[in-house]
A and B are shown apart, each in its own frame.
Chain A
Amino acid sequence: MGLIEIIKSGFSKPRLISIVYMIQLILALTIGLQVYQVFGASIGNSLSLEGLKEGNAHMVINDLLNTHGASLSPLLGQVRWMVIVYLIVAAFVHGGIWYSIIKQYEKTSIWVGGSTYFLRMLIIGIVMSLIFIIWSALVWGPYLSKIQYWMEALASEEPILWGGIAIAVLWSFGAVFIFVASCFCKIFVIRDGIKVRVAMWKGIKASFKKTWKCLPVLFAFFMILALLYIMHSLVDDWTLFSTTIGVFVLFLIQQLVVWIKIGLRVSTYEYLKGRL
């Protein structure tokens, strides 16, 4: 199956993508609307607002943070909690996505799959996250702990930088391997109906065998994501989007990016299902 076909297979489930998108949007809106409220209550009648629409709002934002930072900092705490909450919600959502891909794709399949496999997805997610944390600590820990020493001992930062890049590449390979293992576990659980413990063992083994062959497609997906981010950051800076209508258009573009990213996630799952 070519890349286009893989992408098409993911985007052939727009309803599924849209449900996931809506769940994420609702959560994000709770932060976004509070940001709007805090900004409005703090500087809502200020002529400085003009500056916010343009790219160079450093002074406006800094004065806002200096004076009203206490109103904004609780929002950061909320984002932290939201991430934790969403990790649990994601176990449900991804259970639904996998069920829709593996078993059947119907109007209610995301809810059926989510509720049926929630606990098993959660366990797999937690275990794989722990493995990921251990991997990250193993790879980055020694490097980071040596940086201060290298700063004093080395004549050039070049080896530190390239060493860091090499470690980042190694870490990324490991992350991809863990991601693929996590996906394979979920496929085994839903497709074969086996126990989580057994599925994880099989998933990790399968990942060892098949991840290398999956790398080109996964890399292509990564590049598409990177391209989306770059395009968004370029568009975000356009003065065209410094009018009220422009801001609305920019919002639509941002949401399209988010929707496409979810579609790419579904496409990735479709692809990995096909590899097993």
Chain B
Amino acid sequence: MRWILVFILALLITSQVHTQDDVHCQPTISDTPLSERLANYIFNINFEHEQHTVTGTEKIFWKNNSPDTIRYIRLYMYLNAFKGPESSYLSEANMNIMGQNLRGRSEDDWGYVNVTKARQGDNVITDMTYVQPDDDNDQDQSVLQISLAQDILPGETMILDLEFASKLPRTIARSGFANHDFNHFVHWYPKMGVYEEDITGKWDWNCHQFLRQMEFYGDHGNYDVTIELDDQFVIGGSGCRQMYKEPIAGKEGRVKTRFIAHDVIDFGWVASPNLVEYMDEWEHVEIRLLSPPAHASLTKRLLDAAKHSLQYFDDHVGVYPYSTLTMLDPPLHGLRSGFMEYPTYITGGSFYSFPKGIRSMESLMVHEFSHQYFMQILANNEKEDPWLDEGFVTFYEDCVMEDWHGSSSLIDLFGYKVGNSSFTRNEYASMSNKRTSPITTVGYEFIGDYKGTIYSKTATVLQTLKRYLGADQFDEMIKGYFESNKFTHPRKADFISVVKEAFAKYPNLLSSSIDRFLVDALDESKIVDYSVINVGSAPSGDKDDDGNQLYHNWSNLERKGDFIVPVELRLYWKDGSWTDEVWDGVDPIHPVYELSTKQLQAIDIDPERKLFLDIDFNNNSYTLAPDNGGIWKYATRSIYWVQNIIQSASFLM
């Protein structure tokens, strides 16, 4: 018996050693670079959890791929957005952000990132200034401009050595600490802005301050990050782990972990002693879930969400080129770090004993995973073109969830069923003011319902395109967009061109007006609403050549919105047959008339609901023989619930 125990103990020790030493990782599936790798970083940092700080060195290798000689660079210093209430990010919030009152914060609750020393070769750089390219708030320190000691000629690579210190704030949004055990490091280091050619052909730094309604933008590159920290911490982040918690000679209780990430635009990580690590895999991808102990029963649901997402994207968009995916299911006090996306590292949000019939936690994880394609591989500027990631991601969130769970993909509880795409469409259709800024408005200039427009309306536009084009053809189009633009910074024009190409290749009802459609859908705030005013049928008094009675059949259709789209019409006849017609959708009132031996019974505009942007499907049809059973069902339900309410309310009377 004793030797069995010894054997089991030995096995446990061996497995422990193995999990702590998964060396020589390969961060992508390719041996060759997938991107131009313009911005590359090597970090050696110390994490002091009591102070929530990291200090250390950062070596930046940045390639000048422009025709210009670069004399200064700009760095994102986004942790300074949480340095105090005067930052541009927080001053917009009026001391209250996402329900959190910022008044009464202690000094320790604020964060910062400082460059303490900069060196280019042997030259120490002293000319460093915070600049405010977007507003006049000289208190904002989210962008640092460094005048270089040596010019960087076109094609040359700059090597810049920085010493820096970052301190996490008590989490306001995304980056920060919660109590003294949860530390989330995102936009935590001095990061290169993007030097690029704008749409007017001018090259300059695209390095916006950190403002609300704004996320991130960066060049692809490699990250080599070595973190020294206390050994009780579980640590996870972007890329793969080249070294995990290796003891440091002479420093008891301190260990080193090294991450390698290739062809990514950012690097985020989390450290907490109170996270449990769960592993799974999908084909070439090692999936790691970091979750609080109380969420043990939810891990399968989240890992399944990752696997379904990987499979769907592999089938419908393109290959996931990385070897890892790390998911963080934050603890309750870390929820403000949830619901975000970083390269090969995503954060969700779930609750203990969350009902299986409500799949919002899976849906959110799918959403964040989808960003690996739209934001990371297709690294659009999230600040200027947020629709190119958030809108696409919402669309694919719906696609993955409905592929996985069918039409009741989001909620299926006690008979109440909601599908993702229906929910998304309603987020747009229920907007009290749909005349907000158009989808393609620069993110930080957007006015109105941001989520309803950027996320949901864009997804509804994509759903409309898919339904007109056909599912397979749409997939082909997106695969083309993905392949031609991966590891670059796609813009609106890149997407528009593939849409036009696809609609030309596969002619359909929308093909002839696709240019106008794209302008109205993306650059305007127009509304689609087609409706049927009436339907009628009456004997004409005449007969056809065979002696059959002829009927006047008529209907009046209305274009209630200002967004013009050609639509199909389906005329249902009393004998059970139907005929299809097309309406160009232009006239405000469109009369339909047919002299026929058949009697018109109903008419349906866009019977297959391809025009998903139409804000009201109920008025798309009109029948002379309505089946009121459905109305009775709801009327009797309301009677039943009113009876129950008055019974319950009067229990003490």
Taking Cβ atoms with an 8 Å cutoff, the residues of A that contact B are 24-25, 27-29, 31-33, 35-36, 39-40, 42-53, 55-60, 62-67, 75, 79, 82-83, 86-87, 90-91, 94, 121-122, 125, 128-129, 132, 148, 150-158, 160-161, 178-179, 182, 233-234, 236-237, 241-244, 246-248, 250-251, 254-255, 257-258, 261-262, 265
Contacts and interface: CB of A to CB of B under 8 A. Distances in A.
Contact of B635 (A39, A56, A132): A39
B416 to A, nearest CB: 8
B623 A125 contact: no
Interface of B: 99-100, 178-179, 181-182, 274, 292-294, 331-335, 351-353, 407-408, 414-415, 417-419, 422-423, 425-426, 429-430, 535, 602, 604, 615-624, 626-640, 642-647, 649-653
B630 to A, nearest CB: 3
B635 A86 contact: no
B647 to A, nearest CB: 6
A57 B418 CA distance: 8
Nearest to B638: A35
Nearest to B171: A152
A91 to B, nearest CB: 5
14 contacts: A31-B638, A31-B642, A35-B638, A42-B618, A46-B618, A46-B623, A56-B417, A62-B422, A62-B429, A65-B430, A79-B642, A122-B653, A155-B334, A262-B647
A152 B630 contact: no
Given A122-B653, A237-B414, 4 more contacts: A33-B635, A45-B622, A46-B620, A125-B650
B335 A46 contact: no
A53 B353 CA distance: 32
B426 A59 contact: yes
A225 to B, nearest CB: 10
Contacts of B407: 56
A161 B632 CA distance: 39
A52 B634 contact: yes
A90 B650 contact: yes
Nearest to A29: B639
Contacts of B429: 62-63, 66
B643 A25 contact: yes
A94 B646 CA distance: 13
Contacts of A67: 615-616, 618-619
A243 B630 CA distance: 8
A161 B353 contact: yes
Contacts of A153: 179, 333
Given A28-B646, A125-B652, A247-B636, A66 B430 contact: yes
Contact of B645 (A79, A244, A257): A79
Contacts of B619: 43, 46, 67
A39 B637 CA distance: 13
A58 B417 contact: yes
Contact of A155 (B332, B426, B633, B646): B332
Contacts of A233: 414-415
Contacts of B637: 236, 254
A173 to B, nearest CB: 15
Contact of A58 (B332, B423, B618, B651): B423
A122 B652 CA distance: 10
Residue picked from B626, B643, B653, most chain A C-beta under 10 Å: B653
Cβ-closest 8 pairs across A and B? A52-B630, A237-B415, A32-B639, A90-B650, A125-B653, A47-B621, A244-B629, A90-B653
Nearest to A150: B332
Contacts of B624: 45
A62 B421 CA distance: 13
Contacts of A265: 647
A201 B634 CA distance: 45
B642 A155 contact: no
Nearest to A241: B633
Residue picked from B615, B629, B649, B652, most chain A C-beta under 10 Å: B652
A214 to B, nearest CB: 15
Given A31-B642, A87-B653, A250 B628 contact: no
Given A27-B642, A79-B642, A90-B653, A51 B335 contact: no
Contacts of A179: 651-652
Contacts of B353: 161
A79 B639 CA distance: 11
Contacts of B423: 58
A104 B286 CA distance: 77
A60 B653 contact: no
Nearest to A57: B630
Contact of B643 (A28, A53, A56, A182): A28
A57 B419 CA distance: 10
A32 B646 contact: no
A31 B417 contact: no
Contacts of B535: 45
Contacts of B635: 32-33, 35-36, 39
Contacts of A241: 633
Contact of A64 (B99, B100, B618): B618
Nearest to B431: A66
B636 A83 contact: no
A247 B422 contact: no
Contacts of B351: 157, 161
B621 A46 contact: yes
Nearest to A83: B649
B170 to A, nearest CB: 8
A74 to B, nearest CB: 13
A87 B620 CA distance: 43
Contacts of A261: 644, 647
B469 to A, nearest CB: 22
A132 B651 CA distance: 11
B634 A157 contact: no
B638 A244 contact: no
A28 B287 CA distance: 54
Contacts of A258: 640, 643-644, 647
